[in-house]
Amino acid sequence: MSECIDTILQRKSIRSYLPNPIPDTEKQRIIEAMLRAPTAGNQMLYSVIEVESAALKAKLAETCDHQPFIADAPWVLIFLADSQRIYDFFYYSGVDSLINSKLAPSAKPQEADLLLAGCDALIAAHTAVLAAESLGIGTCYIGDIMENYEIHRDLLKLPKYAVPITMLCLGYPSEQQKKRPLTPRLSRDLIISKDSYRHLQPEEAKTLYDANLPPSPHFLEGAENHGQHIYLRKFSSSFMQEMRRSVRAMLENWRDN
Ligand X SMILES: Cc1cc2nc3c(=O)[nH]c(=O)nc-3n(C[C@H](O)[C@H](O)[C@H](O)COP(=O)(O)O)c2cc1C
Task: Note the residues at the interface with ligand X (CB under 6 A).
Answer: 12-13, 15, 67, 140-144, 166, 183
Distance (Å, whole) CA 204 – CA 214? 19
170-208 residues labelled b (16+ CB within 10 A) or e (exposed): bbbbbeebeeeeeeeeeeeeeeeeeeeeeeeeeeeeeee
Q: Give the Cα separation of 247 and 77 in Å (integer).
A: 20
| Residue 234 CB, nearest approach to ligand X (Å) | 10
Of 80, 46, 42, 93, the residue nearest 250 (C-alpha): 80
* Smallest separation (angstroms) from ligand X to the CB of 75: 16
* Nearest residue (CB) to ligand X, 12 versus 160: 12
What is the smallest separation between the CB atom of 174 and ligand X, expressed in angstroms? 14
Of 116 and 168, which has the nearer Cβ to ligand X?
168
The residue number with the shortest CB distance to ligand X is 143
Nearer to ligand X (CB atom), residue 56 or residue 95: 56
Shortest Å distance, C-beta 164 to ligand X: 12
| C-beta closer to ligand X: residue 185 or 206 | 185
- Nearest distance from C-beta of residue 61 to ligand X, angstroms: 11
Backbone phi, then psi, for 198, in 5-degree steps? -110, 120
Judged by beta carbon, residue 33 or residue 142, the one nearer ligand X is 142
CB-CB contact of 66 with 148 (8 Å): no
Q: Are 128 and 21 in contact (CB under 8 A)?
A: no
Residue 98 · residue 104 · CB < 8 Å: yes
Q: Using an 8 Å Cβ cutoff, are 147 and 248 in contact?
A: no
Nearer to ligand X by Cβ, of 47 and 67: the residue is: 67
Residue 95 C-beta: closest distance to ligand X, Å: 34
